A and B are shown apart, each in its own frame.
Chain A
Amino acid sequence: MMEPSNGGQVVVITSGKGGVGKTTTVTNVSMGLAQLGFKVVAMDLDIGLKKLDLIMGLENRVIYDIVQVIEGECTLRQALVKDRRFPNLFMLPAAQTRNKDDVTEEQIKNLCAELKKEFDFILIDCPAGIERGFRNSIAAADWAVVVTNPEVSAVRDADRIIGMLESAQFQDIKLVINRIRPEMVRGGDMLSIDDLLNHLCIDLIGIVPEDDGVVISTNTGEPIILNQRSLAGRAFYNIARRFAGEEVPFLDLNHTGSLWDRIRMFFSKQVG
């Protein structure tokens, strides 16, 4: 989005509804930014229900967690888990046996201020819901990404979250539409990109098509972005490039109608 001014930028990835792809987005965009050469931390703030370590495939490397850092049981550096694939990518794990009330907004702000000195991007994996965990997650963020699916309940929760972010004085809120199925949109049975933009009225930063490969990558702990032949992997890579300020064209669902167009789309780099 913007060039890092005083150190790095903190981005919260949120959604309201659970299961729409927040952790998958944090994982893949963090990895994409690391591929682009940025120094990145992916921070799991879903304290009590952690997933980021598992989705990133780093669960066996976790020693300490964020609550132990805050309570002074270990240093921040000790708790940061280094990625296996990219030397400039780190993950800060949530605590599994604690709850969201064990950390405060002030503590998260201090932690992020510390991380900003050394990292270009700090991506926060926000818990579902609008309670304490959400408030902690947005406290230190410079801008926000709302992830939604083309489905009425996800859109309703996204709208509520956008309203809350606006009340918290966020100027920069971007939308990721995850799990879209172009053939269902064409058949009149799924909300389209334009439908979602009309309802939510915020800028788009990514369109990720439904892709079976995401399930497989979750099983193996190898994020889908590592597979550049997959549509979702390329879509996440494009989101990372947009985070870095690049202008990357979006997938145009209106021109994916004919078989020829679909073949062309498949071989085109300008996806999502």
Chain B
Amino acid sequence: MIILLDFARRKGSANSRSKANDRLQTVLAHDRIGTSSGIMEQVKKEVIQVIRKHVDTEEPEVSLISRGRQPVLDINIPLKGR
């Protein structure tokens, strides 16, 4: 039982490094442009409004990523086919 628990604990923490990387990626991109991470939801809402005036879309993915030290807005909008 103790061994199992230990195994479960290890498994639970095994990806703390990748979690740290994900959190850093987001926070650094926002720090570099001086915005808070909540802003992306707003961008997503407004982008979808603009696009949907012209074509029907699925839910877009909007994220701030970094290319080197350059922050880049990554917008992926799948369009609905007929």
**Chain A positions near chain B (C-beta within 8 angstroms):** 152, 155-156, 159-160, 162-163, 166, 185, 187-192, 195, 198-199, 201
Contact = CB atoms under 8 A, between A and B. Distances in A.
Interface of B: 13-18, 20-21, 23-25, 27-28, 31-32, 66, 68-69
B35 to A, nearest CB: 14
A201 B24 contact: no
A166 B68 CA distance: 14
A189 B17 contact: yes
Contacts of A160: 31
A201 B21 contact: no
A189 B13 CA distance: 7
For the residues of A in contact with B, the DSSP-based class is helix
Contacts of B13: 188-189
A185 B21 CA distance: 12
A259 to B, nearest CB: 20
Given A152-B23, A201-B69, A191 B28 contact: no
B24 A156 contact: yes
A188 B15 contact: yes
A188 B24 contact: no
Given A156-B31, A159-B31, A163-B32, A188 B17 contact: yes
Nearest to B16: A189
Contact of A188 (B16, B23, B66): B16
Nearest to A151: B20
B23 to A, nearest CB: 6
A188 B66 CA distance: 23
A160 B29 CA distance: 11
Contacts of A156: 24, 27-28, 31
B21 A159 contact: no
Given A152-B27, A195-B17, 13 more contacts: A152-B24, A155-B24, A156-B24, A156-B27, A160-B31, A163-B31, A163-B69, A185-B17, A188-B17, A191-B24, A192-B17, A199-B28, A201-B69
B17 A159 contact: no
5 contacts: A188-B17, A189-B14, A190-B17, A191-B24, A199-B28
B21 A191 contact: yes
A162 B18 CA distance: 23
Contacts of A189: 13-14, 16-17
Contacts of A201: 68-69
Contacts of A198: 21
A187 B31 contact: no
